[in-house]
């Protein structure tokens, strides 16, 4: 068959398919699959008969667009994201509990150690913090310093923005550098843990219990577990690279990144939640600090029970 006749006979079909792609459908949804298969046939025929390159290219572009539309995923909207957070994330955390435990140990181990050491030997604070930094932290939590909440709502928004930029950025960095055989989390987690523990002990030594614990307790659960999850996600990637098991190293790495990124989605959600509390609740001076610590503990319990209990129905 001559190319001209081939084009003439089949052009209506191609136009219909193009119209379906461009949202001016002349073709019912149920007719698309069979029309697409006929297009695929036309493409093969056109290639086999060596019709002109421009025609082949046009058909192959159309087939590619349709392939993408037909085999692409449905949009993952807000309901899917909520479903993920509610059910799949806790399942993922339980499935990866070893990595989460390692990540927690890397983070909280140095934290507790630094806290105990600096509590016992207050001068050792200077191993981690320069005198200027130490003084800055003390000044930040000094009851005489006006705290953020006292400066009104606009100040709260500023701090909220800063926490988003800084904290989620750190999560991302920790996760991504996990690809380097896990070196990122292995460094960032203990370092941040040491830093946190030192600051906590130093401020306790200075007797700033009320302002400090009142401030951090509310958001501590979300923020610290967010850091732990991003570390676990990074370790997942690094571990897959180091120990691919029965897969090729590349396939293992891809799978590791897929699993790890799910933990990272959880980390983002938790850190975002933490920033909300840190910006708009933690700096609040109207609530007595003991109540705020109580609320913080309650959040820890809620978070733990979510990790342990949520999403069990489909397992």
Partner 1 sequence: MPPVDTVRTIETPEGIELHLRPAGPVARFWAFFVDQAVVWMGLMFAGIALAFLGPLGLGLWFILVFLAQWLYPVFFEVLGGGRTLGKRWLNLRVLRTDGRPIGWGPSLIRNLLRVVDGLPGAYTVGLVSILLTRDFQRIGDIVAGTLVVHEEAGAQAPVLPAAEPLAPALALTLEEQSAILAFAERSAGLTASRSEELADVLGPLTGSRGAGGVRAVLGMARYLWGGR
- Per CB under 8 A, 26 contacts partner 1: no
Give me the least distance between CB of 301 and partner 1, in Å please: 30
- Residue 116 or 242: the one with the smaller Cβ distance to partner 1 is 242
- Per CB under 8 A, 165 contacts partner 1: yes
How many CB atoms neighbour CB 304 within 10 A?
12
- Per CB under 8 A, 57 contacts partner 1: yes
- Residue 14 or 289: the one with the smaller Cβ distance to partner 1 is 14
- Residue 105 or 170: the one with the smaller Cβ distance to partner 1 is 170
From the list 9, 12, 25, 52, which residue makes contact with partner 1 (rule: CB under 8 A)? 52
From the list 22, 30, 54, 120, which residue makes contact with partner 1 (rule: CB under 8 A)? 54
- Per CB under 8 A, 116 contacts partner 1: no
Give me the least distance between CB of 69 and partner 1, in Å please: 8
- Per CB under 8 A, 161 contacts partner 1: yes
Chain residues in the site for partner 1 (CB under 8 A): 2-5, 36-37, 40, 43-44, 49-55, 57-58, 60-64, 67-68, 71-73, 76, 151, 153-162, 164-165, 168-169, 172-173, 175-177, 179-180, 237, 250, 253-254, 257-258, 261-262, 264-265
């Amino acid at each position: 068959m001559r190319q001209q006749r081939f084009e003439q006979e089949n052009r209506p079909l191609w136009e219909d398919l193009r119209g379906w792609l461009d949202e001016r459908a002349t073709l019912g949804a149920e007719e698309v699959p069979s029309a697409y298969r006929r297009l695929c046939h036309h493409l093969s025929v056109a290639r086999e008969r060596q019709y002109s390159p421009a025609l082949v290219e046009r058909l192959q572009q159309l087939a590619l667009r349709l392939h993408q539309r037909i085999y692409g995923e449905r949009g993952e909207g807000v309901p899917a994201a909520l479903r993920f957070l509610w059910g799949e994330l806790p399942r993922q955390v339980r499935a990866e509990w070893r990595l989460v435990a390692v990540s927690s140990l890397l983070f909280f181990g140095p934290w507790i150690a630094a806290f105990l050491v600096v509590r016992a030997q207050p001068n050792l604070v200077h191993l981690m913090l320069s005198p200027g930094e130490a003084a800055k932290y003390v000044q930040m939590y000094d009851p005489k310093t006006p705290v953020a909440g006292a400066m009104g709502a606009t100040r709260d928004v500023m701090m909220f923005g800063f926490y988003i930029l800084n904290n989620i950025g750190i999560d991302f960095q920790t996760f991504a550098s996990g690809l380097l055989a896990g070196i990122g989390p292995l460094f960032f987690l203990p370092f941040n843990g040491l830093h946190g523990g030192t600051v906590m002990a130093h401020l306790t030594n200075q007797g700033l219990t009320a302002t400090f614990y009142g401030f951090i307790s509310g958001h501590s659960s979300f923020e610290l577990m967010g850091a732990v999850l991003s570390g676990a996600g990074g370790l997942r990637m690094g571990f897959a690279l180091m120990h691919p098991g029965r897969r090729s190293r590349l396939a293992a790495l891809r799978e590791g990144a897929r699993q790890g990124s799910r933990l990272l989605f959880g980390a983002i959600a938790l850190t975002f939640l933490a920033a909300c509390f840190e910006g708009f609740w933690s700096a609040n001076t109207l609530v007595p600090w003991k109540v705020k610590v109580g609320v913080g503990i309650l959040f820890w319990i809620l978070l733990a029970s979510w990790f342990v209990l949520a999403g069990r129905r489909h397992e």
